Chains A and B, each alone.
Chain A
Amino acid sequence: MRRRRTGFGPVWGPVRIVVGILVVVWSLAPIYWGAVIAFASVADIRRSPVALLPLSIEMGNFQRLLGPGSATQGPFLSALGSSVIQALGTTVLTLAVALPAAYAFARLRFAGSRILLTVITVTLAVPVYLVLIPLFQLATATGQINTQQGVILVLTSAALPLAIWILRSHIVTLPEDLEAAARLDGAGTFRVLGSIIGPLVAPGLVAAAVVTFLASWGAFLIPLVYANSSGTEPLTVLIPTFANKFSSDYGLQSAAGLVAVLPPVLLVVLLQKYLLSGLLKGATK
């Protein structure tokens, strides 16, 4: 049975297969190749011409990266910790601040709501590089350079407008009957928020959380400026310095890269549905 779609006539069948192969190879090749190198022995990495399939699978590179006594172990674990603290901290803070605001924008018509929402929407378009220097001055003046909370605050300000948008667009689509019933039963706004809106809003909350986490896990320019010392630099800042310092040690670089790639890949694979709805709401509103 052929479906009538926006296809291109009789050539569509074979074209479809070719496009499919290209899409999969293009999307996965860099990740695949990074993994092949990360698990390869030093000798196999140097082999030329390369073998497309793994010649060896061993943990040598990870051992050199993380093993006891290795020079990279301390800095790498510290950066991994910073990445986790900054991404999780930003996600929690962003959601805590965005959820009440998104609820108010979706459900309450209060004085100034339209202008405030417009302002927040416009800030979606403010690029990071435009606010970089004043925030650097601000952070220096208040002693927040190279502190976890300083980076978390800046990352939160970058993630907040999108999180509010995603949550607001989600809350607007929820049925209001339940909320009204609870109100008639005498539940206050915070009860309504906690026990009724909360569970209903969970999918939107997950979408906003995933988008925020991925954005802060992958942030580079912000931590490069506000968290570039050994105690606070995250993986995204440390890994490029590895690429310079150990420029010919592809095994070490790829092992480090693979660790940094693992959380995003897991999130995408496990929470794809929420992520897509979050992306769409963020992109199309």
Chain B
Amino acid sequence: MPTDRATLAPAVRGSGPAGRGRTHPARSASRRRVNRLGLALVAPAFAVIAVLVLYPTVSSVIGSFQRYELTDPNRGFSGLRNYIAVLSDETFQQSLLNTGGYFVVITLAVLLMGLGTALWLQSLKGVWRAIALTVIVLPWSIPGTVAGVLWSFILNPTGSGLLNSVLKSLGLIGSYQAWLNKPVAGIIVIGLTVAWSAVPLGVVVLLAGLEGIPREIYEQSLVDGAGRMKQFGSITLPLLRPALAIVLLNGAVLSIGLFDQVYVLVGLDPDKITIAGSMYLYAFRDFNFGFGFAASVVATAITAAISLVYLRLVYREEEY
């Protein structure tokens, strides 16, 4: 988002509102000064990003087309072989499927719970809202691995398993269940524990979106005789599109890169493993960096594709 504010700082130095770009000696000298200063201020940040983000990104993409096993000196260009090997590997296919499951659970949870909680928060005022927000944001601040440990106390099938104990006392289950070991239920339960950490950010974004909708629109539509459900469908949801898009994007990025909570709850169990988990195994158990590169590029491509779909279908600024 380019902003014209940036020109103001040099302008106050007395060169006046001269037409920009045209050569005026004093102007172009100050121009050069600003250029030098700007680049000097940005240089450290850019150096860190260039060396530690841009270079490795390019290196990963190139590496995904190369044969590269740490234990094997035989390296070099191998075309699509890493991709073919990874995509036909059963563990990786399972990890794609599992990640799809986590993605669905997390997306639904973040949308429904996020929207419900944000609407609820909107009905609170002042101190109550501040307290509620603090409570709601807390799970987001807790490290993923610790969140995994905390949830394991609730989900475990032995004595202190809170969920099993409560459900059994209520007569809803006959015996303690190993929730995390079940194939489908396990994915849903783990997805929900991840949603525990992910929903707070969604709530904050959606609440800001709700607060940004001008009150007059609701008042006008009441005059026009619209009911509350109708208002929700025809005003709230459409005007919330940008916020919803952000929440969906965050959910996608998070679920496709998911690693820590799953790692703590079920380890690298093939039934539950994520794409990031199988990438970790390729690279740091098998030391097959080529496969690891391919897996990480596949995950990034999926994230990018989903993001584009969201941006095209959901993100739209509505006219008031």
Contact = CB atoms under 8 A, between A and B. Distances in A.
A130 B146 CA distance: 24
B144 interface: yes
B289 A133 contact: yes
B181 interface: no
B45 A101 contact: yes
A243 B54 CA distance: 36
A16 B132 contact: no
B interface residue count range (under 10 / 10 to 19 / 20 to 34 / 35 or more): 35 or more
B120 A20 contact: yes
A264 B145 CA distance: 14
A3 B219 CA distance: 12
Contacts of A70: none
Contacts of A105: 6, 42
Interface in B111-163: 113, 116-117, 119-120, 122-123, 130, 132-139, 141-154, 158-162
A84 interface: no
B71 interface: no
Nearest to B36: A110
A201 interface: no
A14 interface: no
A10 to B, nearest CB: 10
B86 to A, nearest CB: 14
A267 interface: yes
Nearest to A138: B56
A277 to B, nearest CB: 10
B52 A153 contact: yes
B222 A27 contact: no
Given A5-B122, A220-B144, A264-B143, 12 more contacts: A6-B122, A7-B228, A50-B161, A50-B166, A106-B6, A108-B34, A110-B34, A127-B299, A129-B259, A129-B276, A220-B263, A236-B260
Interface of A: 3-9, 12, 16, 19-20, 23-24, 26-31, 33-34, 37, 45-50, 52, 97-98, 100-101, 103-114, 116, 119-120, 123, 125-138, 153-154, 156-157, 160-161, 164, 172, 176, 179-180, 183-184, 189, 214, 217-221, 225, 235-237, 239-240, 243, 248, 250, 253-254, 257, 260-261, 264-265, 267-269, 272, 275-276, 279-280, 283-285
Closest 8 CB pairs of A and B: A110-B38, A157-B52, A218-B143, A134-B56, A101-B45, A131-B56, A109-B6, A264-B141
